[in-house]
Amino acid sequence: MESRQQPKFFRFKNHKSPLKALLVMLLFSASASLSIGQTDLSLAQAHEYALKNAASVKTAKYDAEVAQLQTEELIGIGLPQISGSVQYQNFITLATQVVDGSFFGAPGQELRLQFGTPHNMTVGLSASQLLFDGSWLVGLQASKAYAELQKKNLSKSEIEIKLQVSQAYHLALVGAKRVELLNQTKAVLSQMLDETKKFYDAGYVEEQDVDQLQLSLNEIENGIVQAETGVRLYKEVLKFTIGMPLQEEINLTDKSEDLIVAGDPAGATYAAENSIDVQLTQNGLVMQELNLKNEKAKFLPNAALFYNLQSQAFRQEFNFFDTSKPWFAPQLWGFQINVPILSGGSKMKSVQKAKVEVQRMKDMLEVAKNGASLEYSKAKLEYDVAISNYDNAKKSLALAQKILDKTNIKYKEGVSSSMDVSISTNQVLSAQQTLANALQSLMDAQAKLKKALNTL
């Protein structure tokens, strides 16, 4: 007896167990909540939604905002600094000094004297202005470079989330395509089963023929259920990825074939400098060069200007609000220059270390450029292979469908058996699965190539 390999439904590439666990978790979470609406969602709209709501993008935005605020904070250090102060002192017991009485006409006696007043108040105003500090100037440049680095990190997060959204969207579309193909095969096989039952009732075919077709139809129906479940699961993954509430119902408006035609990036021009990873490494090199500049700036002097104004009052009683009583107002201004002279060689070693880090980052930049070029070459090769596989898969499905149609005709004419129909049906199902996998691979390869070209 000839054995048949049962078709495996809803098998996609890169389907790892952690993803399965996440899918099950998301499905249960969604089914436990009430629907709050339905949203039509194209791939472009999914990208736009993710850029506003995805957790990873939000985190990168916060980092960029903090970096910008740090730059503004450092700028403020170089601006005039003004502060005021109020100090009140109440001497419960004044300090006592013991002096020789001969100074006051009482030789041979010790006099106990108390100086000062029990109530004292000082109101002060001080101002300072940084005139020159090499480390501050370099630090200001570094803070601006760091803010730019965080913007690049934000761009990288946006690119990564777009790729993740595209892959999740593709999985859902492929699942829907799988359901569509299975329903087409089901319709053909259901019609044949109905006709076979009539032949069986008329005594022209055996019961085994009916059972064989029914078995194939049951397998297709099971495949449809699994594929429909997969579509729901991958929609949950898509909502989770873009930051949409899982209770929201979504309707994917794009079709897989349209995305392939509209998104063909084969004609785009590649340049390593467009890679976000290369740009991030370039920013890292700028940061290290500024660090070297800062270490050298530590050999320079720094200078600051200051001004201080105080108003003081000394009272026997707490009557500071009495305007007839005197206040004394000393004031001063000056400047301070600090000149580094000897540091035991530690500063020079810091400069040498900074030079090593600059060279390290230059080497990393070359590695990043080579890595970006390799990523593009790999993505382009995978894209070209995916196109070829997709075209072959479409031809194979058309051929398998043609064989099934001819087998159906022969079966009706009594030339072939129900087993032949079952075998041809399984060939169609296998070709459908191959086409679904090829479709997913092509869309994913297209997205990765766009990422390498920085056009995603």
Run of H or E residues at 81:
strand 81-90
Q: Can you give the pLDDT at residue 12? A: 40
Provide the percentage of residues in the chain whose pLDDT is more than 70: 90
Residue-wise pLDDT tens digits, 48-77? 999 999 999 999 999 989 888 888 888 888
DSSP state of 116: S
- d(Cα 126, Cα 307) in Å, to the nearest integer? 6
Task: Tell me the chain's radius of gyration from C-alpha atoms.
Answer: 40
Lowest-confidence range among 102-111, 417-426, 427-436?
102-111
Q: Which residue has the tokens 């660090």?
A: 291
Residue 97 binned pLDDT confidence (cut-offs 50, 70, 90):
confident
Dist. CA 291–CA 383, nearest whole Å: 42
The tens digit of pLDDT for each residue in 329-381 reads 888 999 888 888 887 788 888 899 989 999 999 999 999 999 999 999 999 99
The rounded distance, in Å, linking the Cα atoms of 175 and 17 is 18
